Chain A
């Protein structure tokens, strides 16, 4: 039994795979989708996403929400093409900015397991911006 199978056998909800190399964005988007009732798997790169999908033998993942430009890790377009070839059943949503990611998460939430959004996507975006503003700038 694969690791994902062992998890889904516990009766977990429909899964969304969130892919982003910016941890503060990924963390907030994933938390929002969990608040919306989804089971969420986090991947920090397209390579991690591919590994997770390859182990999704039971088809627990139904949606992939991915960033676009991940300079050190490949990009979201390549990941989307790979998914299209390997798992055409998966819905892939690409979001190039935190604002688009928040909007996309709101759309996913809207049609998710809960009857109403726990809060609006703007709150998600505000949260991301607040966190990013607190992160120390790299020293040059």
Chain B
């Protein structure tokens, strides 16, 4: 296989939808990532919004972004969602937060899930969003 063959940088077949998870709490990120992989999604993990920007600007776009709000780094999850809505309007966005008001998600996200969230619920919302596209 040559370097030019792998246009998909996520290392996956490209058949399954790809989800970019942005979460600074590693145990939550791990739990959600593994749950979604078991559901058959390709998952890319970012520990903050700056890492997510690196992924988004270097790679083919994922299908769904799931982001926390309050994270260390230059921008927060709302700002990341606003950037995505502006530059990649086809990318579905789910915002999760334990503190932020869901009102701020209006216009920049397709769904808002308060933390702590139930993994089954987030999988269901994800499936609904992807089926709607």
A-B contact pairs, 20 of them (CB 8 A): A4-B30, A6-B31, A7-B34, A24-B9, A27-B44, A27-B45, A27-B55, A30-B45, A41-B30, A43-B26, A44-B26, A44-B47, A48-B26, A51-B26, A52-B26, A123-B3, A126-B2, A126-B6, A129-B3, A134-B59
Residue of B nearest to A47 (CB): B26
Interface residues of B in 1-39 (CB under 8 A from A): 1-3, 6, 9-12, 26-27, 29-31, 33-34, 38
What are the 4 tightest A-B residue pairs by CB atom distance, in nearest-first order? Answer: A31-B11, A126-B3, A44-B47, A23-B51
Q: Which residues of A contact B31 (CB under 8 A)?
A: 3, 6-7
- Which residues of A are at the interface with B, using a C-beta cutoff of 8 A? 3-4, 6-7, 10, 12, 23-24, 26-28, 30-32, 34-35, 39, 41-45, 48, 51-52, 55, 119-120, 123, 126-127, 129-132, 134-136
Q: Which residues of B contact A10 (CB under 8 A)?
A: 38
B124 interface residue, CB < 8 Å from A?
no
Q: Secondary structure of the A side of the interface?
A: helix
Contacts between the two chains (Cβ within 8 Å), count: 83
Instruction: Give Cα A112 to B46, complex, Å.
Output: 26
Contact A130 B9 (CB under 8 A): yes
Q: How many residues of B contact A (CB 8 A)?
A: 27
Instruction: Give Cα A135 to B53, complex, Å.
Output: 9
Q: Which residues of A contact B38 (CB under 8 A)?
A: 10
Sample of 8 further A-B pairs with CB below 8 A, known A12-B34, A130-B3:
A23-B46, A27-B55, A31-B12, A35-B11, A44-B51, A48-B26, A127-B6, A134-B58
Residue of B nearest to A23 (CB): B51
- Which residues of B are at the interface with A, using a C-beta cutoff of 8 A? 1-3, 6, 9-12, 26-27, 29-31, 33-34, 38, 44-48, 51, 54-55, 57-59
Contact B26 A28 (CB under 8 A): no
Q: Which residues of A contact B45 (CB under 8 A)?
A: 26-27, 30, 42
Minimum distance in angstroms from A109 CB to a CB of chain B: 12
Instruction: Give Cα A76 to B44, complex, Å.
Output: 23
Contact A51 B10 (CB under 8 A): no
